[in-house]
Amino acid sequence: MQKTGRTGIKGDGDPLDICVLTEKEITHSDIFLKAVPIGGLRMIDGNEADDKIVAVMEGDGIFGHWIDITDAPFTLTERLKHYFLTYKDAPGAEHRNCEITHIYGRDEAQEIINRSYEDYLKVYGDLDRLLKMQHERNTL
């Protein structure tokens, strides 16, 4: 709400969303890689904040030297905006419920990552205890 100047916006409750730019073809999602945040898209989906962090894969031959989203060509940021504004649209839908209010740089992306981590710890900070409780319920 603070960054958009709007009221009534809340978080979407999802983990942090990140789009990692790389020259590599990645054909599955069960991998770990090192990514360097360079910026993000302030997205509102309905009345929920749904920011998309943009990062580059560390050491990537094409994108790895970018430090801030301003290093990316305008056409790439426009393609990212188009993708995130349309990827949830149902075929033939006329009403778009998403908007991107700002594109922000590396420092603000890091701030959002830190806040997301704090939110994560509030929910899952005691993960070992939560998993043990779930295991005990399942074995009764």
At residue 91, the pLDDT reads 74
Residue 3 within any structural domain of the chain? no
Residue 115's CATH number: 3.90.80.10
Whether residue 97 is contained in a domain is answered as yes
Residue 125 within a domain = yes
Pick the most confident of 8-12, 13-17, 41-45, 70-74: 70-74
Instruction: Give bridge partners of residue 45 from the DSSP assignment.
Output: 48, 98
Residue 4 lies in a domain: no
Is 5 part of any domain?
no
Classify residue 34: in a domain, yes or no.
yes
Are 22 and 93 contacting, i.e. CB atoms less than 8 angstroms apart?
no
At 48-64, the pLDDT tens digits run 888 999 999 999 999 99
Residue 70 sits in which domain range? 10-139
Residue 9, number of CB atoms within 10 A of its CB: 17
In a domain, 78, yes or no: yes
pLDDT tens digits for range 115-129: 888 888 888 878 777
Q: Is residue 69 part of a domain?
A: yes
CA distance 124 to 130: 8
Q: What is the pTM of this model?
A: 0.81
- Residue 59 CA to residue 16 CA, distance in Å, equals 22
Tally of domains in the chain = 1
